[in-house]
Amino acid sequence: MRPLRCAAVTLWAALLIGTAASAAPKRVAYALILANNTGLEPKQAPLRYADDDGARYYELLSSRTKETVLLSVLDAETQALHPGLAAQTRPPTRKALKEALGQLNARMAEDRQRGDDPVLYFVFTGHGKRGPAGEGMVSLLDGPFTRTDLYSQVIAPSSAAFIHLIVDACDSYFFVNSRGALPVAPAQAQAVQGLLAARELGRYPHVGAVLSTTREQESHEWSAIRSGVFSHQVLSALAGAADVNADGRVEYSELRAFVAAANQGVEDVRGRLEVSIQPPAQDRSAALVDLGDRARLGFLLLPTGLEGRLWIEDSRGRRVAEFNKERERSVVLGLPPGYGYFLRAFGREASFKFARPGAVVDAASLSWRDNSVAARGAVDDAFRDKLFSVPFGPRFYAGYMASLGQTPVAPEQGPDLTP
């Protein structure tokens, strides 16, 4: 089995490095991340980890994009974990957002003129709520940013061929979608319906949405991982943990099934996520990430035979990816180089590091040792014991997609390594 595994590693490395060069037209990605701990009104307690999630999205996406902008005010602990990042951020205000959108739209318009396909990630982590008329909004440092603002300032004028919206906030569904009766008199209904039509995803088939709630619902933070639970799951998935057919791409259906598996074991309804994940209508198979887009990552290969709940921590103590692996499934994770890492399971760990960007580490070659790290503070049992308790892989994915009556991704096409 050893030569087979080595051959698989070599082929994976060649695939990941060569995909971007062979793609036509060229996919050029940009990211705009807003992360704000403060709320829209005094009764909303400040969040602890929205800025941490913003920093994590920055690390994940900046390794895969041409340009990434982070609008946030990082607290002292987050700045200590991410030295130098604060100098690259601006406060999450309406003015800063407008300037960042103008800058990125100009870049993407130039890409279009060259015949390339620009892609925009628009990410928000922080507080959200519904206004008196039912319109969703999120909190910037200087006030609310509404669904009307989202469509008129971000979506409608964008130069992007595709937009991936990722929103982790209370009532995030209503920040992108409307639901319920129009709060106006009958004489005004026709005019308002015309306005609302411009604020629906159906008018923008190039836009996909990954939202932390499907109804009026709070988002959850978890101190053990210094993160919002939903953002942690999305970041884990986009690192490669959701790539069920091992093609190096994470599609919306794979992300949706991965999040479903991660939360299936949570019995406490207060901790159970009810998310909304909608692919772009223009291409329902559009990839949220493609590990072959950039070679500025290191790659960890988790071969068949390794199974169970696993997570990756870096040398800063940050849990950067987590999943429950089916035994028959192989997984490749793309992680930023430059840090030491630990592959962990309950009671044991193995350390590794990437020698350079593009390097591949085979988990089968790692040396495991016992580990008895104490829990850091009080952790809700529903998250500690039940989150990621259900294995994710082809079996879960096939059953989940069948339950939805939706078309799955193409089956795994493993390389023929026979002599």
**3-class DSSP string for 56-121:** HHHHHHHCCCCEEEEEECCCHHHHHHCCCCHHHCECCCHHHHHHHHHHHHHHHHHHHHCCCEEEEE
Nearest to 55 by CA among 383, 338, 318: 318
Report whether 69 contacts 105 (CB < 8 A): no
The pTM for the full model equals 0.84
Rounded Cα distance, 301 and 313, in Å: 16
Residue 196: per-residue pLDDT: 42
Residue 271: per-residue pLDDT: 45
Residue 214: per-residue pLDDT: 57
Residue 375: per-residue pLDDT: 42
Nearest to 241 by CA among 356, 322, 326: 322
Report whether 388 contacts 309 (CB < 8 A): yes
Rounded Cα distance, 349 and 290, in Å: 28
Residue 6: per-residue pLDDT: 47
Residue 295: per-residue pLDDT: 61
R_g of the chain, CA atoms, integer Å: 21
Nearest to 163 by CA among 208, 128, 194: 208
Q: What is the pLDDT along the chain (419 residues), one digit of tens a residue?
A: 344 344 444 445 555 555 444 546 789 999 999 999 998 777 778 888 899 999 999 999 998 999 999 999 999 999 999 999 999 999 999 999 999 999 999 999 999 999 999 999 999 999 998 888 888 999 999 999 999 999 999 999 999 999 999 999 988 889 998 754 334 344 443 443 444 445 688 899 999 999 997 554 455 555 556 778 889 999 999 999 999 998 999 999 999 999 999 888 665 444 456 789 999 999 999 999 998 765 688 999 999 999 999 999 998 888 899 999 999 999 999 998 888 999 999 889 999 999 998 899 999 999 999 875 544 433 344 444 556 778 888 888 888 888 887 888 877 654 333 33
- DSSP 8-state symbol, 285: T
Rounded Cα distance, 239 and 232, in Å: 11
Report whether 30 contacts 294 (CB < 8 A): no
Residue 266: per-residue pLDDT: 61
Residue 388 φ/ψ region, left for φ over 0, alpha for ψ in the -120 to 50 degree band, beta for the rest = left
- Extract the tokens encoding 156: 């409608």
Please state the length of the chain: 419
Q: How many helices (H) and strands (E) does the chain have?
A: 11, 21
Tokens 């969703």 belong to which residue? 136
Helix (H) or strand (E) holding 130: strand 128-130
Rounded Cα distance, 49 and 213, in Å: 18
Report the half-sphere exposure of 197 (CA within 13 A, side-chain side).
6
